[in-house]
Amino acid sequence: MAKYRRGRINDAVAQELAIALGEVREPKVVDNFISITRAEVAPDLRYATIYFSCIGDDKEALIGLKKVTGMLRHHLAVSLNLRITPDLLFKKDGSIEHGAHIARLLEEVRAPKAEETEEVDE
């Protein structure tokens, strides 16, 4: 399968799952405010790793997502025209926390420089 096709499938799966999450009534999913960050579908379309971020308890969110996996797969099967509807594997996406950590480190580096320029001006 061509790379561009897999990229389009990845984007379509992530977009459709984000839409499907709006219809979910599972309290562990709704209470943790889960959002889909990206999807990686295997070349044979058998499995899809779904990366998510949430505000709340990560473990509770993962349990809730596992409970509604069947409903999410059904939504994918209806909305996407794929030969095979992939099995969904959910993983916490740490890129948001990593980016926030890098931003804090950069702020710490900038802060002492600002104090030094104030001392020089005096």
DSSP symbols for 5-41: HHHHHHHHHHHHHHHHHTT---HHHHTTTEEEEEEEE
For position 38, what pLDDT does the model report?
Answer: 94
- Summarize pLDDT for 48-87 with one digit per residue, the tens: 999 999 888 889 999 999 999 999 999 999 999 888 999 9
Q: Which CATH superfamily is domain 3-93 in?
A: K homology (KH) domain (3.30.300.20)
For position 86, what pLDDT does the model report?
Answer: 95
Q: Kindly tell me if the per-residue pLDDT of 17 is higher than 60.
A: yes
- How many helices (DSSP H) and strands (DSSP E) are in the chain? 5, 3
Cα 103–Cα 107–Cα 112 angle in degrees, nearest 5: 160
pLDDT band at residue 8 using 50, 70 and 90 as cut-offs: very high
For position 30, what pLDDT does the model report?
Answer: 86
Written as one letter, the residue type at 100 is A
Going from N- to C-terminal start, the domains of the chain cover 3-93
**Tokens representing 7?**
């990229």
- Percent with pLDDT over 90 in the chain: 57
Look over the chain and give the mean of its residue pLDDT values, rounded to a whole number: 88
Q: Kindly tell me if the per-residue pLDDT of 31 is higher than 60.
A: yes
